[in-house]
Amino acid sequence: MHILLLGKNGQVGWELQRALAPLGKLTALDRHATDYCGDLANPEGLTQTIRALKPDVIVNAAAYTAVDKAESEAEQARQINADSVTMLAREAEALGAWLVHYSTDYVFNGEGDIPWQENDVTAPLNVYGATKLAGELAIQHHCSRHLIFRTSWVYAARGNNFAKTMLRLASERSELGVINDQIGAPTGAELIADVTAHAIYRAMAQPKLTGLYHLAAGGETSWYDYACFVFEQARQAGVKLALTQLNPILTSAYPTPASRPLNSRLNTTKLQTAFGLEFPHWQQGVKRMLTEIMEQYQ
């Protein structure tokens, strides 16, 4: 099996390089790749890459993920998260290949407190969410063999994420306010990559597994409680923080260019049942990641 991985240096892409390697031949590209074009802002170049390599599976971990910046760069976000994804879907279909892709809790409007199911009505509150939804719909429309994983609050030892932002801010400031009324599950790139590899293996043998799935760690938390957990772990590891006061705040007290959903809970029953998996509690993976990066903060 030949797998083409796009976005190899992102949080999820980096872990996929490890997790996909045992499945077969892996060609992993980022936007700066030179042998083949791996730039989602260059659809012609990328089309040539796919036609030359003829992969059995395309895994797209590349995306425009700067949520606030997307509000003022809607064109760029749409090109990478929707237009180029449409092209990938068409090219995959023409080859009879699988397309594996990632989407987000931000496709939902965040109303209520019930975990979202795959077929619940989508209504994104921001440009990033709208472009990610457009990408999902294009894949479902154009490519018969696909796995789309909607995930949430991704973190990894490598890359940028909320936990690392918190550690940096807590080393600089004595007081911080963190939102306590947005609820979701921090999900590790390691878990996402391992589940992806397992799902590809299973789906290749059982094409009816094609579809959209929610992939998130177990349990739920607010950004505030997540930050508390990160600081507790850091202090236990002997990290000295400048932070002395952490304040829980409402979303309304933290204005940002992009609106964000209050309810980001994802119901993952479909994925766990279809593929025979059980997802660990979010704290388990966050602890592992913190253990890995903590020496940088000591």
Q: In the complex, which residues of this chain contact ligand NDP (CB under 6 A)?
A: 7, 9-13, 30-31, 38-41, 61-65, 80, 102, 104, 132, 151-154, 159
Binding segment for ligand TDO among 92-100, 173-181, 202-210, 228-236 (CB under 6 A)? 173-181
Closest CB to ligand TDO among 154 and 203?
A: 154
Catalytic residue among 128, 155, 224, 226: 128
* Largest pairwise CA distance in the chain: 58
Q: 184 vs 241, which CB is nearer to ligand NDP?
A: 184
Rounded to the nearest whole angstrom, what is the least distance from the CB of residue 55 to ligand TDO in the complex?
26
For ligand TDO, the closer of residues 50 and 163 by Cβ is 163
Residue 104 or 233 having the CB closest to ligand TDO:
104
> Of the two residues 130 and 154, which places its CB atom closer to ligand TDO in the complex?
154
- The residue from 23, 28, 60, 106 that contacts ligand TDO (CB under 6 A) is 106
Report the residue number whose CB is nearest to ligand NDP.
10
**Of ligand NDP, ligand TDO, none, which one sits near residue 15, judging by CB under 5 to 8 A according to partner kind?**
none
Q: Which of residues 209-228 bind ligand TDO (CB under 6 A)?
A: 223
- Tell me how many residues contact ligand TDO (CB under 6 A): 19
Residue 36 appears among annotated catalytic residues: no
Q: Which of 254, 269, 281, 291 binds ligand TDO (CB under 6 A)?
A: 254
Tell me how crowded residue 295 is: count the other CB atoms within 10 A of its CB.
9
Residues that bind ligand TDO (CB under 6 A): 65, 67, 104-106, 152-154, 162, 165, 169, 176-179, 182, 223, 254, 260
Q: Which residues are catalytic?
A: 128
